[in-house]
């Protein structure tokens, strides 16, 4: 068994909650990370009429003005119980990353969280 928590840093890119509107996570500084950060989008119960969730990762140089990271989008979610992950290479993005989940539909609700996992540089 591997202890990934011992070598990795976990960041809640979107705290677990029932979400009914677009979620914009708090940006976090990735300049101390080595290589890839894996984002894990977890969806539990979904309800509403034609609900959709479009998750993506954005980057910023100053934690103020964000833009989409090319290729860092999750497959659209429309039903309950969905788990996806994607990797972002910290060497190819700006200093800050955040998660954005765009929610649409009629009275949509998504049980949603997003966690970022990466390895920080040794001090």
Residue 21: pLDDT band with limits 50, 70, 90: very high
Question: What tens digit of pLDDT does each residue of 23-68 get?
Answer: 999 999 999 999 999 999 999 999 999 999 999 999 999 999 999 9
Residue 9: pLDDT band with limits 50, 70, 90: confident
Spell out the long-range contacts of 69-78 with Cβ–Cβ below 8 A and sequence spacing 24 or more.
69/93, 69/97, 72/39, 74/41, 76/52, 77/41, 77/43, 77/46, 77/52, 77/53, 77/110, 78/46, 78/50, 78/51, 78/52, 78/53
pLDDT at 3 over 60: no
């Amino acid at each position: 068994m591997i202890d990934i928590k011992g070598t990795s840093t976990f960041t809640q890119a979107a705290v677990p909650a029932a979400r009914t509107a677009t979620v914009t996570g708090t940006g976090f500084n990735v300049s101390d990370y080595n290589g890839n950060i894996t984002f894990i989008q977890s969806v539990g119960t979904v309800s509403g009429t034609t609900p959709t969730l479009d998750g993506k990762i954005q980057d910023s140089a100053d934690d103020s003005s964000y833009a989409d990271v090319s290729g860092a989008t999750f497959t659209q979610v429309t039903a309950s119980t969905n788990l996806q992950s994607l990797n972002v290479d910290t060497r190819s993005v700006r200093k800050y990353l955040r998660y954005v989940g765009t929610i649409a539909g009629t009275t949509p609700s998504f049980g949603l969280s997003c966690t970022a996992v990466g390895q920080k540089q040794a001090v």
